[in-house]
Amino acid sequence: MRRLLAILCMFAAIGLSAAHAVLPDEVMSDPAKEARARNLSRELRCMVCQNQSIDDSEAPLARDLRLLVRERIAAGDSDSQVIDFLVARYGEFVLLKPRFEPQTLLLWLVPPLVFLGGGLALWMNARRRPKAAPQPNASLTAEEEARLAALMSGEAPAEKS
Amino acid sequence: MIAEAGHYALVLALGLALIQSTVPLLGARWRDPALMNVARSTALAQLLFAGLAFAALVTLHVTSDFSVLNVYENSHSAKPLLYKITGVWGSHEGSMLLWVSILALFGGLVAAFGNNLPLSLRAHVLAVQAWIAGAFYLFILTTSNPFLRIPNPPMEGRDLNPVLQDIGLALHPPMLYLGYVGFSISFSFAIAALLEGRIDAAWARWVRPWTLVAWIFLTLGIAMGSYWAYYELGWGGWWFWDPVENASLMPWLAGTALLHSALVMEKRNALKVWTILLSILTFSLSLLGTFLVRSGVLTSVHAFATDPTRGVFILLILCIFIGGSLTLFAGRASSLKQGGLFAPISREGALVLNNLFLTTACATVFVGTLYPLALEVLTGDKISVGAPFFNLTFAPLFVPLMIAVPFGPMLAWKRGDLFGAMQRLMAAGIVAVLGVAFAWAWARGGSALAPLAIGLAVFVIAGAASDIAERIGLFRVPLANAVRRARGLPRSAWGTAFAHAGIGIALMGIVCETTWNSEYIGTMKPHDSIPLAGYQFTLDGLTQRQGPNYHELAAVFSVAANGRPLSLMAPSKRNFTTRGMSTTEAALLSRGLSQLYISLGDTTPDGGIVVRIYHKPLVLLIWFGPVLMALGGLLSLSDRRLRVGVPKPAKALRGLQPAE
């Protein structure tokens, strides 16, 4: 909390007109915690931007969220607790990687299903094809069968013209 | 006057497209060569009039005629000439005009160089082209007319969006469109084949060069756009999984699959139905991309709902063309005979595997891009699908694909020898293991998986090299013989090797940049100095400068390595007065294949400035890879057996010789 206060004071002192992606005054003193904050920031959406993570965004809201993430980390939250906190406050929209839930079932299942379905279709096709291939030989007409039998027995029938 | 002439030319082009879309079909039905030949002359005339309309808009922009709404909204008299020209396609209307002009260009090319096509096939292809062209001419004329006048012309224009005032705009959209729209040719060929009910290996041979041309441009266009975003947006990212990027990636993935399946069809007369379907899907994805980017649906579903004319029109085009072509496909596909049996372990099998992976990747991008839109429309729930989702789903698809890439060209057609291929790839495998060991020993920090990914990249590159070495018998026959064989090797074999090596090179750049990139973010005052990745950066000072239509704050940094001064770097922040917008102009310094990157933030009241300094190791490989892939495509295209428009007798002579 002291850290946040310090950050807020610095923020007030500098009086930035427009924020910018990860500013020097946001960086946490503990490099391990800062690295965690950066990793989390990449997973979180700046909700007023088009498809930008709060790590990349220059919007003031993104800065607020970055500070919030760091505040939660400083307070001792684990990564998943930070995520839960943000989702509780801002909804699923804040996650750039949606959770596996009923409403995102299809999203997560399409890639494996397409792959497996395609693979299965290929496998079935490969199994069916060799059987189908010799068929032309089997489908001789009765006339052809008779002629073939005659040829096999060595009594070639005279060609009628 | 010029605006009206341009408008009129566009109307004439529409008229020609309507003739071209009907008369040749009747000709084909009645077997009347004269009517079928109408396709050729109308396609060329259509190109002429679309070109005239485009030239008219360029002229209006260059002469800064602010009585035209499009020029007023997107230009400024003080803008440099280059940006006056490129600004033509910086707006929605102009970019759609570029789209149809390129469509007309491809139609014209088929008409001009398609002399060796059967007459009825050419008539059908050009008719289908004209359906697409007609739909888009109508779209432009009714909803996005770039030639509208303003009753009381203003004195000065509103200037182009400053982010677009860059050399990138001169190259990126035209290349991307040449790719997007180029796939319309394979689409038209597919529809023509379905209409005629006839398709054979020769069909694949005609389609493949066109697909290859489109693919080369799309590859370069995407790479170009990525580099532009990298230096323009100011934080050194080069791929964002943004829906707009995904819109171009989907046709690329499908088009890459199409190139490979058309190969199987051409050589072995197999995979016909699938190749036709891919041709349809690839261009459908191009249309989808156009819809996503041009309808405003991406900004918000609601933005689309409030001003729906354009969006609904493109959506209608989309539905008619995709729905119509898929219906036609469903009805006719069963009549196409399958041919060419092959064992699972074979060149064909490898190419089918490639198609399975690429199609799945394409489906992943598709669902990731459209799912949030669909969910919001259906349930009102808002979710985001961004980079972390795609990174997670793409890696499991691309790793096996990349492992398989070197095996493909090593396998024989019909029935391959996997064990033999493994033996021949032994050397590449050893080089890859050395690569892993080297990366492991050299790397400080970063993911433990990164050296393995480097090994994979090395394997793909070395695999492409061993393919060539194997073909020319390097180390098995005397060197002079090998060189002679290398010269005699079909260019398409070189093309394959270059394109495959290109993927490995891009992967290497991606891994290095994301894993070992170092950054400094901080406030610096003049004469401050900071070390980063073995370089010393000193801020010498800040200066104000005035440009033609902006003023900028530039910071001059001197960069030193090992105590010796290297160079100066001058990043700046530009403020464009007319629009009141600012852009960051990053300073880049290439050191071999790595780059130093500085971009500026805001100034602080005590005379300091926020700076971001990055060292990006081997980052240039990310774009060299695609360039090499495009070069491979070009080599393959220049293969004499595939040359566009080979005259008939020559083709008959070489007809049986397969091209790769």
**Contact yes or no for B368 and A97 at CB 8 A:** no
Name B249's Cβ contacts closer than 8 Å, sequence gap at least 6.
B222, B365
Q: What is the DSSP letter of B385?
A: -
**Phi/psi of residue B161, each to 5°?**
-45, 120
CB of A46 within 8 Å of a chain B CB? The answer is no
The closest of B649, B572, B660, B656 to B609, measured between CA atoms, is B572
* A56, A96, A103: residue with CB nearest B384: A96
pLDDT of residue B53: 97
What is the nearest CA distance from B525 to chain A, expressed in angstroms? 13
Q: Which helix (H) or strand (E) holds B522?
A: strand B518-524
**A110 pLDDT more than 70:** yes
**Contact yes or no for B243 and A51 at CB 8 A:** yes
Q: What is the DSSP letter of B534?
A: T
The closest of B616, B609, B615 to B522, measured between CA atoms, is B609
In angstroms, the CA B102 to CA B92 distance is 15
What is the nearest CA distance from A95 to chain B, expressed in angstroms? 6
What is the nearest CA distance from B605 to chain A, expressed in angstroms? 7
Q: What's the ipTM?
A: 0.85
What is the nearest CA distance from A155 to chain B, expressed in angstroms? 36
Identity at B614, one-letter amino acid code: Y
Give residue B35's Cα distance to chain centre.
36
Collect all residues of chain B within an 8 Å Cβ-Cβ radius of residue A114. Answer: 359-360, 363-364
Q: How far apart are the first and last CA of chain A?
A: 107
CB distance B280 to B329 below 8 Å: yes
Between A and B, how many residue pairs show a Cβ–Cβ distance under 8 A?
105
Collect all residues of chain B within an 8 Å Cβ-Cβ radius of residue A20. Answer: 601-602, 610
**A11 pLDDT more than 50:** no
pLDDT of residue B304: 64
Taking the CA atoms of residue B49, residue B50, residue B55 and residue B60 in that order, the dihedral angle to the nearest 10 degrees is: 100
* B367, B385, B610: residue with CB nearest A20: B610
Structure tokens at B417: 């020898």
In angstroms, the CA B479 to CA B64 distance is 63
Average pLDDT by consecutive 10-residue portion of chain B (660 residues)?
95 97 94 93 97 97 94 91 93 93 96 89 95 96 93 89 86 93 95 88 87 96 93 83 91 96 87 92 94 79 68 90 94 77 86 95 95 90 91 93 94 87 92 93 80 96 93 85 88 93 96 90 91 93 89 93 91 87 89 93 87 94 97 90 47 41
- Interface test with chain A among B271, B369, B384, by most A beta carbons within 10 Å: B384
* B611 strand-pairing partners: B522, B600
pTM of the model: 0.89
CB of A118 within 8 Å of a chain B CB? The answer is yes
- pLDDT level of residue A149 (50, 70, 90 thresholds): confident
Q: For residue A134, give the chain B residue with the closest CA.
A: B341
Surface-to-core class of residue B598, CB atoms within 10 Å of its CB (0-12 exposed, 13-18 middle, 19+ buried): buried
Collect all residues of chain B within an 8 Å Cβ-Cβ radius of residue A21. Answer: 235
* B341, B344, B360: residue with CB nearest A118: B360
* B585 strand-pairing partners: B572
Structure tokens at B506: 């891009």
* A15, A114, A129: residue with CB nearest B360: A114
Collect all residues of chain B within an 8 Å Cβ-Cβ radius of residue A111. Answer: 360, 363-364, 367, 393, 397
**Contact yes or no for B235 and A21 at CB 8 A:** yes
What is the nearest CA distance from B384 to chain A, expressed in angstroms? 5
Name B339's Cβ contacts closer than 8 Å, sequence gap at least 6.
B268, B269, B270, B272
CB distance B347 to B416 below 8 Å: yes
> Between residues 380 and 439 of chain B, which touch chain A (CB distance below 8 Å)?
381-389, 392-393, 397
Q: For residue B520, give the chain A residue with the closest CA.
A: A24
The closest of B62, B86, B58, B63 to B160, measured between CA atoms, is B86
**Contact yes or no for A45 and B386 at CB 8 A:** yes
CB distance B536 to B520 below 8 Å: no
In angstroms, the CA A15 to CA A38 distance is 23
Which residue in this structure is represented by tokens 């009549």?
B335
Name B122's Cβ contacts closer than 8 Å, sequence gap at least 6.
B36, B39, B40, B110, B111, B114
- HSE of B497 in the Cβ direction (CA atoms, 13 Å)? 19
- Interface test with chain B among A28, A86, A107, by most B beta carbons within 10 Å: A107
pLDDT of residue B301: 64
Collect all residues of chain A within an 8 Å Cβ-Cβ radius of residue B363. Answer: 110-111, 114
**Contact yes or no for B385 and A129 at CB 8 A:** no
Structure tokens at B344: 């699972």
pLDDT of residue B385: 92
In angstroms, the CA B314 to CA B288 distance is 9
CB of A95 within 8 Å of a chain B CB? The answer is yes
**A137 pLDDT more than 50:** no
CB distance B505 to B621 below 8 Å: yes
pLDDT of residue A48: 83
**Phi/psi of residue B543, each to 5°?**
-135, 155
Q: E-assigned strands of B525-608? A: 529-532, 535-546, 550-561, 564-569, 572-576, 581-585, 587-591, 594-603
In angstroms, the CA B104 to CA B89 distance is 16
Identity at B78, one-letter amino acid code: A
**Contact yes or no for A50 and B242 at CB 8 A:** yes
Q: Please state, in angstroms and as integers, the Cα–Cα distance from residue A30 to each residue in A54, B219, B316, following that order.
A: 20, 43, 55
Q: For residue B233, give the chain A residue with the closest CA.
A: A56
What is the nearest CA distance from A50 to chain B, expressed in angstroms? 7
CA geometry: angle at B129 spanning B123 and B135, to 5°?
A: 135
In angstroms, the CA B49 to CA B5 distance is 10
Q: What is the DSSP letter of A125?
A: H
CB of B331 within 8 Å of a chain A CB? The answer is no
pLDDT of residue B655: 39
Structure tokens at B96: 């759609």
CB distance B164 to B90 below 8 Å: yes
In angstroms, the CA A66 to CA A1 distance is 15
Q: CB neighbours (10 Å) of residue A147? A: 14
